[in-house]
Amino acid sequence: MAAPRPSPLPLGALHASHGGCWLRDSDGRTRGLGKGEAIMASADTPLLMLNAPLVATRLGYPDLSGLDLLELFAFVHPARFCVPTPKGLATALGLAPPASDDAVPELLQHAAGKLLETCESSNWAEREGAWSALQSLSRLRWPWAQVIAPHIKQPPRAERWLFTRLPEWEEAPDRPQPGQIVLDPEAIDARLAFLTGAGAEQRPGQQAYAREAGHTFAPRQQPGLPHVLLAQAGTGTGKTLGYLAPASLWAEQSGGTIWVSTYTKNLQRQLRRESRRVWPDTSTEGSVASGNRQRVVVRKGRENYLCLLNLEDALQGGFSGRPAIMAQLIARWAAYTQDGDMIGGDLPGWLGTLFRQRGIKALTDQRGECVYAGCPHYRKCFIERSARASAQADLVIANHALVMVNAARGRDHAQRPTRIVFDEGHHVFEAADSTFSAALTGSETIELRRWVIGPERGSKGRRRGLAARLADVSSYDEQGAKAIAAAREAAEALPADGWLQRLHDEAPSGPLETLLGAVRSLTYARDESGGQEAGYGIETEAAQLDGNFVELAGQAQAALAELRHPLMKLSNRLEALLEEPPDWLDGLGRARIEGARHSLGWRIDLIAAWEALLDRLGGPVDPDFVDWLAVDRSEAREYDTGIHRRWLDPMKPFARVVLEPSHGVMLTSATLTDRSGHEDDDWETAIARSGAAHIDVAPRLCMAESPFDYSNQAEVLIVTDVKRGDIPALAGAYARLIEAAEGGVLGLFTAIRRLRAVYGRIADHLARAGLPLYAQHVDPIDTGTLVDIFRDDPHASLLGTDALRDGVDVPGHSLRCVVMEQVPWPKPGILHRARRAMNGGSSYDDRIIRARLAQGFGRLIRSREDRGHFVVLSAAFPSRLLTAFPKGTPVIRLTLDEALQRIASSVSLDRTTEPETPDTQDAGNKG
Ligand code: SF4
């Protein structure tokens, strides 16, 4: 129940949606007004508003400013979840949600009043640090500072600074190697029964699946031959608890660590929740501070975490203007965060878009410039803490890319995963594809230059080059100093600031830029993809290169070797220092040098991979690889240029780097196999895409069918009268489908251009009917937040591309219709063409499309209570692709009008028999 309403803050409040604009003045009168008047009103006096960038987009006036309630929320309740909509804000503050758009300005006044009341309350959980932060924010002229200053009392004693408040991590001895144990199937059943809870319905499919998963953790018999299990688990099987049951049992009995790897952040969140059933006594929260061993650790790539040294620099003048305000709000968050994860953790996804997403990135360690033990915050560093905690954990929740990178170049053997469950296993191929790729591009090479040389000509910030990072080594070791100087000189050959413009002006500087200039002009000369006219990226295969191009590649290769040699020499000097340490080298110094050696090592590997790539150009084709030249563009603006190399089959390096050293690996997903219609073939692709064949392992196979009644819960509607390429007709179809379903539509597109065109034509019209429409690539909101908004409002609809196809888990009424704009054909790029030729031509395309259809369909029915329609707008949908949908799902070809009738009548039926929306938090058997 909503709490009594707090006194409203007597300031004007503005709300703008696609349906119109409303202003409430300080005297409590609300009126509708035009966009021009709304802009004028906001220029006259600071108005309360919610999500200023979104209001600015709605008004078509990017310079809009005001008192953004989201900024105030981030200050008062850092690290607390809030869906950034009027309803979401009301829910987060315990207020009644507004009944209509015109009630929103009043809500904003009450919400502001409530937040100020909190500041005065003795129960304000996040009070510590607020007064000091406010002093800094006042100096930065944060618009809220004056408003809230009278409500926050100066504390009697000086508040501790963030960097003194954060807890330190403790060193812990290495864990012994895990015991070799075989799990008892009955013990697995019992654990599963415990996890699903007393009274939960028995699911024989889940039980069999859990027992199969248990085999993954058995002792292996030969080196290099892990147990490999491929387990398909239809939606609703309960696969998460199905594998957590044997995994937790194994961790408990053997004393080892299980890694569960996911592709989407969504599943990471779900796993975090569900792991609490297994380890209820220790959550992931707060346990570091308390000094207890963390049993469950979420581990991400270092570029996800806040770097405290970067934050300190930003707070001390590295950032100015709006980014400096953002840094203060992030410092508030840093004191209350669970784990310092800025991307998908408890930092609100919307905070970056209120300021600048780049500002968030600048606070992470994107470039690997960490100075490890040389950093004053090393003992409090979130990254170091998470790495150490994962070595001691029972369960590490990670993502595919991190698991692969860790296996390939992890800093510490003890932290390398050996028992791994790849959930969302159908994405392992994609993740391996990008992990084991090489790209010699302008943006990659300039990063390397900055890493070696450090700041040049007027760049700000704490960024330091190799010489500064290893100053003590060079003062002690003459040869090390020489190697650093030689590396610095050689790095001058790499692209420098302004390289894109110089390429455009055909005035490159240095051997690498000269090569990239040749790449650019050859790509423009040869590309026939149609991307040139459409403003997209363009590419051409790295074939038939003339003598001049090959010579330029040779010069670039020689320049890279010039850089690699001194880096190798330096690495050897560091190794010698560690072997015969001087007196001054204490434990922390040692850790810092080990860290430096590690980052040197992977840059040496990176340069070697680039050299190998260049060495091949003009020579015989290597059948293992596909090489191509590309100019990356967005809306005709170039942002990168370079040469790319991918493995034709990335599961080859995956097998060597990840499978071979492991003892047990499980790949599981609801869409692991291909539903080709010939059951014998279904596993063929899954086996090939597991990499097991490359190490001569025959994987175990397991299939758990979904318990859902698809014949009654879903319908596939293939709409045959919307012409392909007819944007007005496409937009009209989307609008009518959303109206018929009364919102709750997820629209999936294969091209951003069409998505934007459709959105632009229908958003206003739908908003006036009370059906808000959101879109990826249009709304200034990150994807995770868009999904939160969509989940929160059953009348909202969401349009998006690939990331939404299987990154959305919205059970219940909020998602009742998925609409695909056309058959999701693969993009016919150079890489696709090569893989298609190797894998059976059109049948390869079919497999990709079936997988995409199955993933899109999988968004629709997430629980037994869900019902819905999956619509494909395609006049000529090939029948051979229909097997993509689960057995028994009715498939109907029909006109748009007929589809609208079916959807509308099912919505009115649902209205009369509407079940309670299941609580995702408690849907323990979902998966
Ligand atoms: S140890 Fe490295 S990542 Fe951590 S705060 Fe210091 S510089 Fe940043």
Pick the atom of ligand 1 nearest to 378's CA: 1
Q: What's the pLDDT at 459?
A: 57
**What's the 376 CA to ligand 1 centre distance in angstroms?**
8
**What's the 428 CA to ligand 1 centre distance in angstroms?**
30
What is the rounded distance in angstroms from the CA atom of residue 344 to the CA atom of residue 509?
40
CB of 305 closer than 6 angstroms to any ligand 1 atom: no
**What's the 370 CA to ligand 1 centre distance in angstroms?**
5
CB of 762 closer than 6 angstroms to any ligand 1 atom: no
Mutation to probe ligand 1, out of 342, 377, 385, 386 (largest number of atoms < 8 A from CB): 377
**What's the 704 CA to ligand 1 centre distance in angstroms?**
45
**What's the 260 CA to ligand 1 centre distance in angstroms?**
26
User: What's 621's DSSP letter?
Assistant: P
Q: What's the pLDDT at 270?
A: 84
CB of 363 closer than 6 angstroms to any ligand 1 atom: no
**What's the 747 CA to ligand 1 centre distance in angstroms?**
41
What is the rounded distance in angstroms from the CA atom of residue 28 to the CA atom of residue 32?
13
**What's the 709 CA to ligand 1 centre distance in angstroms?**
51
pTM: 0.88
Give 19-39 as a DSSP string: TEEEEE-TTS-EEEE-HHHHH
Q: Give the list of residues 6+ apart from residue 652 with CB closer than 8 angstroms, or none.
A: 624, 691, 694
Mutation to probe ligand 1, out of 330, 383, 598 (largest number of atoms < 8 A from CB): 383
- What are the pLDDT digits (tens) for 503-541? 999 999 999 999 999 999 999 999 998 877 777 899 999
Q: Which of 809, 807, 747 is nearest to 778 (CA)?
A: 747
CB of 166 closer than 6 angstroms to any ligand 1 atom: no
- What are the pLDDT digits (tens) for 868-926? 999 999 988 999 999 999 989 999 999 999 999 999 988 877 766 654 443 333 333 33
Q: What's the pLDDT at 548?
A: 95
Looking up tokens 């990331």 gives 803
Looking up tokens 């040496």 gives 604
Pick the atom of ligand 1 nearest to 305's CA: 3
CB of 369 closer than 6 angstroms to any ligand 1 atom: no
Give yes or no for a contact between 9 and 112, defined as CB atoms under 8 angstroms apart. Answer: yes
**What's the 329 CA to ligand 1 centre distance in angstroms?**
19
> Which stretches in the chain have pLDDT values below 50?
1-2, 283-291, 915-927
The alpha carbon of residue 802 and the mean position of all alpha carbons in its chain are separated, in whole angstroms, by 13
**What's the 470 CA to ligand 1 centre distance in angstroms?**
15
Question: Which residue is closest in CA terms to ligand 1's atom 7?
Answer: 370
**What's the 37 CA to ligand 1 centre distance in angstroms?**
48
CB of 309 closer than 6 angstroms to any ligand 1 atom: yes
Give 797-809 as a DSSP string: EEEE-HHHHSS--
Question: Which residue is closest in CA terms to ligand 1's atom 2?
Answer: 370
CB of 375 closer than 6 angstroms to any ligand 1 atom: yes
CB of 383 closer than 6 angstroms to any ligand 1 atom: yes
Q: What's the pLDDT at 467?
A: 85
Q: What's the pLDDT at 784?
A: 83
Q: Is 175 buried (19+), middle (13-18) or exposed (0-12) by CB count in 10 A?
A: middle
Tokens of 70: 């989201």
Question: Which residue is closest in CA terms to ligand 1's atom 8?
Answer: 307
**What's the 306 CA to ligand 1 centre distance in angstroms?**
8
CB of 22 closer than 6 angstroms to any ligand 1 atom: no
CB of 596 closer than 6 angstroms to any ligand 1 atom: no
Number of H helices, E strands in the chain: 39, 23
CB of 378 closer than 6 angstroms to any ligand 1 atom: yes
